[in-house]
Amino acid sequence: MSDNIIVADKLSEKQQEYMALIAEIMEIRKRGEKPLAFIRTYGCQQNVADSEKIKGMLARSGFGFVDEPDDADFILFNTCAVREHAEDRVFGNVGALKNLKRRHPQILIALCGCMMEQEHIANRIYQSFPFVGLVFGTHSLHHFPELMYHSLVDGKRIFERGNDDNKLYEGFPVRRDGSFKGWLPIMYGCNNFCTYCIVPYVRGRERSREKDIILSEARDMISSGYKDITLLGQNVNSYGKTLQTPVTFAQLISEIDQNDGEYWLRFMTSHPKDCSKELIDAIANSRHISKHLHLPFQSGSDRILKAMNRRYDRKKYLETIAYAKEKIDGVSLTSDIIVGFPGETYEDFKETLSLIREVEFTSLFTFIYSPRVGTPAAKMDDPVSAEEKSKWFRELLDVQEEIAAKRCSSMVGQTERVLIESEKEKTGELNARTSGNIIVELDGDPSLIGTFQNVKITKARNWILKGELI
């Protein structure tokens, strides 16, 4: 039985009423001028997608948006808890708002997202940042209008932190940031409890959106001109398990792929333990799924994988990679790696190096282990010094740079289909991306932004390619 609860096909009527009330209050306060919001998002694409929902709700409440906090009536930081560095940045940037609040006492400053689901963080904000008026976690998104209304009207500080409400809410108005690249969440939460990771504690249990809702949202995106659509979830490979009629991720993405049109479908993130042959076959046989697999392996050492509770070993990972290479012509592989997990030795770390040499990833997201309060790994012995870990980390970057350079230079002379994404501010060149998610820089007219083009690869510089329009 599914324990998902779908709340109507639009955000609940109560929340719609709150949005209308906010619009009325702001109209009076601003004497008819449009109220403005500044939203800053930290962390992963899941947070970006949440911010797009918040922006949707704010737009329905009459708000426009600004790129700088100084002119805003409402400031919101959507925060990330995955590593200490992300948290430190948030604390630093919130601190910097103190003077702004002093100059404009009517501004409402709010914090939301993963960090706010942690009790020790919410307490610190409460005590150290009295100018923050509203704090809410990832579980409170569906009644953000209500929380904001009370902040504006009651004038009291509101702190709403998690409960074990693992319901799934639908019907958010979404205001997407991009006009041709877009995110489409297919599931929320995570059940894996990797021992280093805070996500299951701050985003709750895994729950999948109904397939028909996703299909209809994907169709809408394709027909309104989205060219690059990324299906989002903490572990998309286990999509559909909690639904009343179970569906696999491969079935879902293959059905979306049936839609005609010129677009790419991407997805993130995959977990190696659940990455099925069925999914790899689906990519190989599809018309629109990009030939790219982001498959985080975290460590090349079986001993560390076990301590991380990853539930696959090096051999199984390499078998999946071999199958992907065999089936998907020119597949581009990327991964996440953690260096310096508690108890990791240099011998373990060398296993990670040998794995990246063996696979030849296009690019890597590499992180030094960061202890997270409340996770099992934070209680493990961690004898290796920070300096030593940084040394290993640099070694990893050097090896990967060599591999990426080799991989990219092997593409010189090839023709690639790319999506033109933006104009580089300094040089006026265009930035484009291949189906394998590799960046290509080229000369061309900015009117090409948002279109697919064929490009001849002329040069490679580390992991960036140079190309010419054909």
Residue 196 binds to ligand 5AD (criterion: CB under 6 A): yes
> Applying CB under 6 A, does 320 fall inside the site for ligand 5AD?
no
List C-alpha distances in Å: 400 to 112, 335, 404: 35, 11, 6
* Shortest distance (Å) from residue 231 CB to ligand 5AD: 16
Quick check: 230 binds ligand 5AD (CB under 6 A)? no
* 83 touches, from ligand SF4, ligand 5AD, none (C-beta below 5 to 8 Å by class): ligand 5AD
Using the minimum distance from each CB to ligand 5AD, give the nearer residue, 67 or 387: 387
> Contact between 305 and ligand 5AD (CB under 6 A)?
no
Quick one: which H or E segment has residue 83? none
The dihedrals phi and psi of 314, each to the nearest 5 degrees, come to: -55, -40
Stretch that binds ligand 5AD, among 203-211, 286-294, 346-354, 364-372 (CB under 6 A): 364-372
360 counts as binding ligand 5AD under rule CB under 6 A? no
- In one-letter notation, the amino acid at residue 94 is V
Piece of the chain touching ligand 5AD by CB under 6 A; list 64-72, 309-317, 367-375, 456-464 = 367-375
Residues in CB range of 28: below 8 A, 6 or more apart: none
DSSP string, 288-340: SB-SEEE---B-S-HHHHHHTT----HHHHHHHHHHHHHHSTT-EEEEEEEE-
* Start-to-end C-alpha separation, the chain: 54
Q: Number of residues in contact with ligand 5AD, rule: CB under 6 A?
A: 12
**CB atoms closer than 10 angstroms to residue 454:** 11
Enumerate the β-bridge partners of residue 77. 40, 111
* The length of the chain, given as a count of residues: 470
* Residue 9: count of CB within 10 angstroms of its CB: 9
Nearer to ligand SF4 by Cβ, of 198 and 359: the residue is 198
> Diameter of the chain by CA atoms?
67
Q: Smaller CB distance to ligand 5AD: residue 12 or 370?
A: 370
Is position 298 an interface residue for ligand 5AD (rule: CB under 6 A)?
yes
Q: How crowded is the C-beta side of 468, counted as CA atoms within 13 Å?
A: 5
- Binding partner at 369 among ligand SF4, ligand 5AD, none, C-beta below 5 to 8 Å by kind: ligand 5AD
Nearer to ligand 5AD by Cβ, of 83 and 227: the residue is: 83
Strand (E) or helix (H) holding 55: helix 45-60
Q: Which of 338, 408, 432, 465 binds ligand 5AD (CB under 6 A)?
A: 338
Closest approach, Cβ 206 to ligand SF4, in A, equals: 9
Select from 263, 340, 249, 335 the least CA-distant residue to 292: 335
Tell the burial category of 335 from Cβ atoms under 10 Å away from its Cβ (0-12, 13-18, 19+): buried
Which 8-state DSSP code applies to residue 181? E
**Which tokens belong to 470?**
């054909």
State the binding partner of 200 from ligand 5AD, ligand SF4, none, CB within 5 to 8 A by kind. ligand SF4
Listed residue (183, 193, 191) closest to 226, CA to CA: 183
Please, which residue, 234 or 453, has the CB nearer to ligand SF4?
Answer: 234
Could you say whether residue 236 binds ligand 5AD (CB under 6 A)?
A: no
Which residues contact ligand SF4 by CB under 6 A?
Answer: 190, 192-194, 197, 199-200, 234-235, 271
How many CB atoms neighbour CB 410 within 10 A?
12
Q: Which does 338 bind (CB under 5 to 8 A by kind): ligand SF4, ligand 5AD, none?
A: ligand 5AD
CA distance 441 to 384: 40
335 binds, among ligand 5AD, ligand SF4, none (CB under 5 to 8 A by kind): none
Instruction: Based on the shown chain and the rule CB under 6 A, indicate whether residue 188 belongs to the binding site for ligand 5AD.
Output: no
Q: Is residue 276 a contact point for ligand 5AD (CB under 6 A)?
A: no
Judged by beta carbon distances under 5 to 8 A according to partner kind, the member of ligand SF4, ligand 5AD, none in contact with residue 236 is none
- Provide the 10 A C-beta neighbour count for residue 282: 21
Phi and psi (nearest 5°) for 307? Answer: -65, -25
Least distance from ligand SF4 to the Cβ atom of residue 147, Å: 26
Q: Which residue is nearest to ligand 5AD (CB)?
A: 336
Question: In the bound complex, what is the minimum distance in angstroms from residue 232's beta carbon to ligand 5AD?
Answer: 13
Q: How far is the CB of 381 from ligand 5AD (least distance, A)?
A: 16
Binding positions for ligand 5AD, 368-407, rule CB under 6 A: 369-370, 372
3-state secondary structure of 388: helix
Least distance in angstroms from the C-beta of 198 to ligand SF4: 8
**Distance from C-alpha of 196 to C-alpha of 81, rounded to nearest angstrom:** 12
Minimum CB separation from ligand SF4 for residue 310, in Å?
A: 7
Binding-site ranges for ligand 5AD (CB under 6 A): 82-83, 196-197, 296, 298, 336, 338, 367, 369-370, 372
